[in-house]
Amino acid sequence: MTSDSSSHTRNPHLDDDPAFALHRGGKLQVTPTVDVHDHEGLALAYTPGVARVCSGIADAPELVEDYTWRSNLVAVVTDGTAVLGLGDIGPQASLPVMEGKSLLFKQFGGIDSVPIALACTGVDEIVETVVRMAPSFGGINLEDISAPRCFEIEKRLRERLDIPVFHDDQHGTAIVTVAALHNAARLTGRTLGDLRAVVSGAGSAGVAVTKMLIDGGIGDIAVADSKGMVYEGREGLTPVKRELAAISNRAGLRGSIESALAGADVFIGLSAGEVPESVVATMAPDSIVFAMANPNPEIHPDVARKYASVVATGRSDFPNQINNVLAFPGVFRGAFAARATDITENMKLAAATALAGLVGDDLSADHIIPSPFDERVVPAVSAAVAAQAREDGVARR
């Protein structure tokens, strides 16, 4: 007796859920950019005409950028170990998220992408797999790979490849957070250099946000993990956290995040922890709360607003959503425009500056960052990234 799996794929009750109904059949397809209606067209699109193009690329490899889709194609790569708020759910279960990422690349940036979910989790395996498939792609977007492996994977791929490699969980989050915090500081009559911030979470996003805020000139910033504040000399730190301790927490804060928040100007939540209201009340006047855990922010916005002048979350149902879609389409669009070989730290800062600059005289407590649907976002970020790529010497045109 054989089992019938069709009940799983054609369960009518699933389609009662609008999310399942929308995702049925997937969210992507491949669409040709040329029409083939006759023998002449077939002879040009495929053999024998295609052979002339292949030979041209073999003689001048740089022609691949002009005569294939590679120059506008990103591989969205995951191993399914850190998916949204779901954790390690494996490569197949991660595919709806990767398809969603590809949809956003196309919808917001006009960039083609292919979701690639890998059935391996070792650093060496992932790096070698991506390196071997890289000739087909103009850029690599790493997605939902758990820390600390994600840091080593990105580092090694950047060393071995001459195309942009971008871990969006790190750098997309950092770009949008820095842009939003810049405007929150401006709204409250300060600059980044005036602020003391505390970050909850030393994972991929927490590390990247901290480093980028340091590069952006924040006054001081300290990070807490599940064991308390990260500081130089603390036992049991991973190499990534030791590096973080060496460049952050100039005040030498130790102990709990609750004690560190007393008198702090900024809270940045990038973890699943909860901060009590009594602790929020100890923050400095005109405090800024970015509680970005999903689906449950570390501090509920209604609570945060009792004490903070500016509140942001990662959710779309509250004002000031810190959403990575504000960053990655424009970053890749700009990198592709310059045919950049890398995405530098300066390029990320340029993206954040451009994004912040789109909020002008309409800056308010409920509007410190543009909407993802603001049509100015991708052109502004793209232009800033491309210009910085040329200034940094990583552009090929």
Here the CATH number for the domain that contains residue 76 is 3.40.50.10380
How high is the pLDDT of residue 7? 42
pTM value > 0.85: yes
* 95 and 140 inside one domain: yes
Q: What is the mean pLDDT of the chain?
A: 95
Average pLDDT of span 328-342: 98
Q: Is 72 annotated as a binding residue?
A: no
Long-range contacts: 154-161, Cβ < 8 Å, 24+?
Answer: 156/123, 156/127, 157/127, 157/130, 157/131, 158/342, 160/127, 160/131, 161/130, 161/131, 161/134
Domain boundary among 283, 313, 343: 313
Residue 154's domain spans which residues?
39-163
Average pLDDT of span 237-260: 96
* 185 and 309 inside one domain: yes
How high is the pLDDT of residue 15? 74
Sequence-distant (≥ 6) Cβ neighbours of residue 296 within 8 angstroms: 272, 274
Active site residues: 46, 101
Is residue 364 scored above 50 in pLDDT? yes
Angstrom distance (rounded) from CA 376 to CA 370: 9
* 155 and 49 inside one domain: yes
How high is the pLDDT of residue 14? 80
How high is the pLDDT of residue 16? 85
Q: Is 296 annotated as a binding residue?
A: no
Domain boundary among 163, 197, 230: 163
* 85 and 203 inside one domain: no
Is residue 5 scored above 90 in pLDDT? no
Whether residue 67 contacts residue 56, with contact meaning beta carbons closer than 8 Å, is answered with yes
Read off the pLDDT band of 66 (50, 70, 90). very high
* 125 and 50 inside one domain: yes
State phi, psi for 360 to the nearest 5 degrees: -100, -120
Domain boundary among 118, 138, 163: 163
* 186 and 243 inside one domain: yes
Q: Is 362 annotated as a binding residue?
A: no
How high is the pLDDT of residue 85? 78
How high is the pLDDT of residue 10? 61
State pLDDT tens for residues 147-205. 999 999 999 999 999 999 999 999 999 999 999 999 999 999 999 999 999 999 999 99
Is residue 8 scored above 50 in pLDDT? no
How high is the pLDDT of residue 12? 66
Average pLDDT of span 373-385: 97
State pLDDT tens for residues 21-57. 999 999 999 999 999 999 999 999 999 999 999 999 9
State pLDDT tens for residues 313-323. 999 999 999 99
Q: Is 324 annotated as a binding residue?
A: no
For the chain, how many residues are written? 397
How high is the pLDDT of residue 259? 97
- Who wins on pLDDT, 211 or 3? 211
The answer to the question of residue 8 being in a domain is: no
* 251 and 228 inside one domain: yes
Q: Is 323 annotated as a binding residue?
A: yes
**Across the chain, which distance is largest between two alpha carbons, in Å?**
76
What CATH number corresponds to the domain at position 256? 3.40.50.720
Three-class secondary structure of residue 270 per DSSP: coil
Q: State the total domains in the chain.
A: 2
The answer to the question of residue 348 being in a domain is: no
Whether residue 308 contacts residue 185, with contact meaning beta carbons closer than 8 Å, is answered with no
How high is the pLDDT of residue 4? 45
Average pLDDT of span 299-309: 97
Q: 175: part of which helix (H) or strand (E)?
A: helix 168-187
How high is the pLDDT of residue 272? 79
In percent, the amount of the chain with pLDDT more than 70 equals 97
State pLDDT tens for residues 337-355. 999 999 999 999 999 999 9
* 66 and 129 inside one domain: yes
* 188 and 309 inside one domain: yes
Angstrom distance (rounded) from CA 331 to CA 377: 11
Is residue 1 scored above 60 in pLDDT? no
* 175 and 124 inside one domain: no
